Amino acid sequence: RDVFGKSESSLEAAKAQVVHLEAQVESMRSDSLELASVKEQVREKDTQIRAMAAEAEKVQREMREAYTKDLSAQEEASRGEKRELLDGLLGVESGLDEMREELELRMLTQKDLVKKLSRQEELNRELIRGTNAAEEEREKANLELSAASVKVITLQDEVKTLAGRNAALE
């Protein structure tokens, strides 16, 4: 009876642990899908920023070419006009620098998300290993319970046999 009670409580504990671990696995799967979605959004933003940076560099190159041609054609233009063009070019370069900084920040964010996703995947693998171990424990408890049940039935048969002998002796 003592073995049977221990096996039964062990089985119940293993079942509760399996249910708890399955809930954690489902939660981590959901988190993993959400991280994958965020990662895809970051990739899309990264692509957009790269396209904007390429366009800005193209505009800057065209402006430099136009500026150079303009300077050649207008050597007699006033210094004020030349200064305005130079300020415009500096403004474009400043804008490009801001775009580069934003792109670098996005890339750092993307790397951070990739690290988090990798960690999430490792946690998922650990949880699966834990679930498998709990399943093995449950199976072991089931085997112990079956063995205890067989012992109980054997003992009951022996008690019946002894009772029959006792009755026959009386």
Identify the sign of the CA torsion 59, 62, 64, 69: negative
Q: What is the pLDDT along the chain (170 residues), one digit of tens a residue?
A: 455 556 777 888 888 899 998 899 988 888 888 888 888 888 899 899 888 888 988 988 988 888 788 767 676 656 667 678 778 888 888 888 888 888 888 888 888 888 988 998 998 899 889 888 889 988 998 898 888 889 999 999 999 998 988 888 87
87-101: per-residue pLDDT in tens? Answer: 888 888 888 888 888
1-22: per-residue pLDDT in tens? Answer: 455 556 777 888 888 899 998 8
Distance (Å, rounded) from C-alpha 149 to C-alpha 158? 14
High-pLDDT (> 70) share of the chain, %: 90
73-89: per-residue pLDDT in tens? Answer: 676 656 667 678 778 88
Distance (Å, rounded) from C-alpha 147 to C-alpha 44? 60
Distance (Å, rounded) from C-alpha 14 to C-alpha 8? 10
Q: Which CATH code is given to the segment(s) 2-145?
A: 1.10.287
Distance (Å, rounded) from C-alpha 43 to C-alpha 24? 28
Of 123, 99, 109, 103, residue with least CA distance to 39? 109
Distance (Å, rounded) from C-alpha 55 to C-alpha 37? 27
With both helix axes pointing from N to C terminus, report the angle between 2-73 and 79-169 in degrees, rounded to the nearest 10: 170
Q: For the CA atoms of 42, 44, 45, 46, what is the dihedral angle to 10 degrees? A: 80
**DSSP 8-state class, residue 77:** S
Give ∠ CA 149-129-3 in degrees, rounded to 5: 20
Residue type present at position 71: L
CA-derived radius of gyration, the chain: 38
Mean pLDDT of the chain: 84
